[in-house]
Chain A
């Protein structure tokens, strides 16, 4: 594992960009470059800014530089029987920790274990004034100052450059078993939400092709008791199955049509939109492959109390994320100006005017 601190070089590059008023396009491995709108700045690559700065299994804390490959971190954790509980998708082997946090994506474990931002404890970053700042820390509880580290999660690098990130780590479960049930989507949504009202060791629930897949994780005794209670068929090669859902390698994702990511309250019945879909996050996430007009999808998501992202196969020019309500949009502009007054970080990547 290579270790290299490029903070000073980044600071110089950012200061140069500020004085010449040339925007920067922050990139890690480029594994999620398809996500969001196009941005036309000079490239700032975090790929060589690498290394795990601190990992203490007994403290459940890991701090690593933003260019550190996600894969290396996951391997290191696995050696100690630990994991990133938000189960982030990588989408390619070269995915970095920085990109993972900047995009804020979480995998199938999310509804039961928490999201990427839930596990972020601290960050060191460079803001749009070229200053190296440290927020949060390496402790579980910290309410000194505003929670900037979590604000950075999912901000697509538009508020600053992440230098290093401290995360809360969790122990890996002793046992995981996946059960399969034949049932239609509507019934599956209802069933999985009813199950979530009970103290069961649920760790993932998705619905694909008329089948509900439930993953149970925990101590062997707890998982076995839940298997007894729930019935269903045990799935062989379950780890591969969940990885292919998380990494979007299922056949649904092999398409040139627009792929929508629709986040809705988990009890929302199947959306009345044409196209092929799968359900993840115990009902909270709907992947839809569809030629539906953009407005129709956005409206359906909004009416359900959620939002829709044009995840793949878009032109990179129109809005990718759900447009914001005016009051919220106003706050976004003000916050962008508060962190990046010259607008040099990934302009337009999230929204046209941010």
Chain B
């Protein structure tokens, strides 16, 4: 959509800007650090949310933080938008390129700089993959706790931008709980270190502020994460229920009994069927919902907790409870949950993953309303759920080749976000706002709150070169969104390209 055969006045001006960047910034960097040809730019047109695509003027791929600094300084001096990108696995379009900007990929900064076993810390560059940290720590009996489902591929820099979560965060925390220090490149291109290897720092908690700020306040170039000792053993309990209500209530009862499971996940009927057909994990196909509950610790502890949790599950109405007998079975139980997204991909040409968080007690209520809205839009929804912390991932099934399907998927997605807010929850638990949920931000926050967010942004980046247009909508855009929303349910942001 950005590449037209006939140059328009706009595209020719973009072309001029591109050429200028190539000659000026290109001269400051090694030859292969600045991509600008259409075929080189194509792979960077989107992140994990491929329904939004855009071509940047250039992609910078520095080998060193000093080169990254040169890129940021050049962009600041010339007021060129910078969109930082890690592994590009994000699901909210946070790394969607700016068509008048430079996409700064941190993928080549992928060195583990230091692993201090005694201090249980690891100093890494932003392009290091999440799982690579745990792999490096494993021989020492340590691991990095946050485990987003994309952990094989996603980078730690991106995890910080999004405050990534995962399956184990009720017990072991989100990214914000597991990072000690980050060094950022400010909008002006200065290195600033936030946090420290001590457990706290003087002054405001800028580390907490930068985590989850989606690349709008600074570009993360070095990180110190906290490592935890690997639990000795783990078991997974699989419990089947005849209703979603019972399964939801069971989670609250486990927690009220004083047990915080290592992970607790829920899947609904459609997800169960899709994954069972795909990985044959042995899930009961007649269940309305299943719970997967992981318990970790030493052997005697697990015997005790599995006993207690089983009792709670049975009392809560589980008609089948199975405890993994060995690691192989535990992994099989998890395999279904972990394959839920690709499994749904097998039963539908396309799917759209949502990410609301709700108070857990609202689960049955919200799921039944999602089902109503899905029926209204004539679409199917498969639900997987980080049940312990109320983080819901409805997968909207659609076919992009079918007229109107994508539009209806978007509308249903917006309905789901509105349902999350109405239930006292939030529009995003762990995927971030990015470009995708700007409309939802207008619903969740009022003009004064959004203005406060913009003031925070300006405190870090007055001229707005860092990832402009993401995460926090302008009031103007909210007015526009509200207007359109009220009038005929058109899609927000008509100026964005759609595929």
Given A142-B426, A145-B453, A148-B456, answer yes or no on A199-B203 (Cβ-Cβ < 8 Å): no
Instruction: Please report whether the interface of chain A is mostly helix, strand, loop or mixed according to DSSP.
Output: loop
Would you list which residues of chain B between 339 and 371 have a CB under 8 Å from chain A? 357-361
**B230 at the A/B interface (Cβ < 8 Å)?**
yes
Closest Cβ of chain A to B283, distance in Å, is: 25
**A318 at the A/B interface (Cβ < 8 Å)?**
no
Would you list which residues of chain B between 274 and 306 have a CB under 8 Å from chain A? 297-298, 300-301, 303-305
**A337 at the A/B interface (Cβ < 8 Å)?**
yes
**A276 at the A/B interface (Cβ < 8 Å)?**
no
Given A115-B200, A117-B205, A150-B205, answer yes or no on A199-B298 (Cβ-Cβ < 8 Å): yes
- Complex CA gap A199/B360 in Å reads 29
Chain A positions within 8 Å of B440 at CB level: 144
**B101 at the A/B interface (Cβ < 8 Å)?**
no
- Complex CA gap A110/B169 in Å reads 18
Closest Cβ of chain B to A203, distance in Å, is: 14
Is B305's CB under 8 angstroms from A219's CB?
yes
Q: Looking at B141, B255, B431, B441, which has the most chain A CB atoms within 10 Å of its CB?
A: B255
Is A328's CB under 8 angstroms from B206's CB?
yes
Is B459's CB under 8 angstroms from A141's CB?
no
Given A143-B432, A197-B120, answer yes or no on A222-B297 (Cβ-Cβ < 8 Å): yes
**A57 at the A/B interface (Cβ < 8 Å)?**
yes
Chain A positions within 8 Å of B445 at CB level: 134, 144-145
- Complex CA gap A88/B440 in Å reads 36
Is B204's CB under 8 angstroms from A56's CB?
no
Partner of B173, one of A56, A118, A144, A154: A118
**A338 at the A/B interface (Cβ < 8 Å)?**
yes
Chain A positions within 8 Å of B211 at CB level: 147
- Complex CA gap A221/B194 in Å reads 40
**A248 at the A/B interface (Cβ < 8 Å)?**
no
Given A59-B252, A139-B358, A263-B200, answer yes or no on A194-B174 (Cβ-Cβ < 8 Å): no
Chain A positions within 8 Å of B433 at CB level: 143-145
Chain B positions within 8 Å of A138 at CB level: 359, 424
- Complex CA gap A190/B213 in Å reads 36
Chain B positions within 8 Å of A322 at CB level: 202
**B42 at the A/B interface (Cβ < 8 Å)?**
no
A-B contact count (CB 8 A): 254
- Complex CA gap A190/B118 in Å reads 8
- Complex CA gap A322/B203 in Å reads 8
Instruction: Tally chain A residues at the interface, Cβ within 8 Å.
Output: 83
Is A143's CB under 8 angstroms from B428's CB?
yes
Would you list which residues of chain A between 171 and 199 have a CB under 8 Å from chain B? 171-172, 174, 190, 193-194, 196-199
Chain A positions within 8 Å of B196 at CB level: 265, 305-307
**B449 at the A/B interface (Cβ < 8 Å)?**
yes
Partner of B256, one of A58, A264, A266: A58
**B170 at the A/B interface (Cβ < 8 Å)?**
yes
- What residue of chain B has the Cβ atom nearest to residue A141's Cβ? B429
**A350 at the A/B interface (Cβ < 8 Å)?**
yes
- Complex CA gap A218/B298 in Å reads 12
**A100 at the A/B interface (Cβ < 8 Å)?**
no
**B383 at the A/B interface (Cβ < 8 Å)?**
no
**A346 at the A/B interface (Cβ < 8 Å)?**
no
Partner of A133, one of B192, B198, B452: B452
- What residue of chain A has the Cβ atom nearest to residue B227's Cβ? A197
**B125 at the A/B interface (Cβ < 8 Å)?**
no
12 additional contacts (CB under 8 A) given A193-B119, A219-B297, A222-B297: A139-B357, A139-B358, A139-B389, A143-B163, A144-B433, A145-B444, A146-B217, A171-B259, A263-B200, A266-B199, A307-B201, A328-B192
Which 8 pairs of residues, A with B, have the shortest CB-CB distance? Answer: A58-B252, A140-B389, A150-B208, A334-B459, A141-B429, A338-B455, A171-B258, A265-B197
Q: List 15 A-B contacts (CB under 8 A).
A: A118-B176, A137-B426, A139-B424, A143-B432, A144-B426, A144-B441, A151-B206, A197-B117, A197-B141, A198-B229, A221-B300, A222-B298, A307-B196, A328-B194, A335-B204
